[in-house]
Amino acid sequence: MRRLLLILALATAAFAARAAIDPYEFADEAERQRYQHFIEEMRCPKCQNQNLAGSDAPIAADLRRELRRLLREGRGDREITDYMVARYGEFILYDPPFDKKTALLWLAPALFLASGLAALLAIVRRRRPGTAQPLAELGPEERRRLQQLLGADRHANDEERLS
């Protein structure tokens, strides 16, 4: 019975994996490679962090069909990209172009790295020997407590030397 269930589970998984692959035929290998490039480089509008190749959402299937149609019509790569961006916005691109709207997206990692290095450098400079800030004056109660502690330490050190 276990074997039958295992075989059934494997068959179901294999069928589900096969169903996610679009069975498109292409005119030639170059067209298939262009299609593959587009579905890997474009983001699913519903899934948000999956490309069209890895998404099972209905909108992703529609976009894959639309890409195939555009390729069949003989559209160029730039035309296809412009069409998809006009329809879905720059969000659909995993690698958006550098312009005024995306400058922060591209520059933020460098800005965070630079500010982190500056903070680290400031911390290291403050901790160098000889650059420490002088301690504030101790009050009478603090001096008395310090003398007690130092006296206890001296007493303990004297006992260690004698033994």
**What mean pLDDT value characterizes the chain?**
79
Closest CA to 148 of 156, 63, 29, 35: 156
CA pair distance 70, 83, nearest whole angstrom: 9
Per cent of the chain over pLDDT 90 is 22
How confident is the model over 53-75, as a mean pLDDT?
90
Q: In Å, how far from its chain's centre is CA 17? A: 27
pLDDT band at 14 (very low <50, low <70, confident <90, very high): low
pLDDT band at 145 (very low <50, low <70, confident <90, very high): confident
**Cβ atoms of residues 91 and 105 within 8 Å:** no
At residue 15, does pLDDT exceed 80? no
What pLDDT does residue 16 have? 46
| pLDDT tens, position by position, 93-140 | 877 778 787 788 788 899 999 999 999 999 888 877 665 555 567 788
DSSP 91: G
Beta bridge partners, 51, equal 43
How confident is the model over 63-77, as a mean pLDDT?
91
Instruction: Tell me the residue type at 129.
Output: P
Closest CA to 81 of 93, 69, 91, 72: 93
**Cβ atoms of residues 84 and 42 within 8 Å:** yes
pLDDT band at 21 (very low <50, low <70, confident <90, very high): low
At residue 160, does pLDDT exceed 60? no
CA pair distance 128, 138, nearest whole angstrom: 24
Task: Delineate the domains of the chain, giving CATH numbers in brackets.
Answer: 7-92 (1.10.8.640), 103-162 (no CATH)
Structure tokens at 106: 């591209």
Cα 40 to Cα 24, 44, 89, distances in angstroms: 16, 10, 17
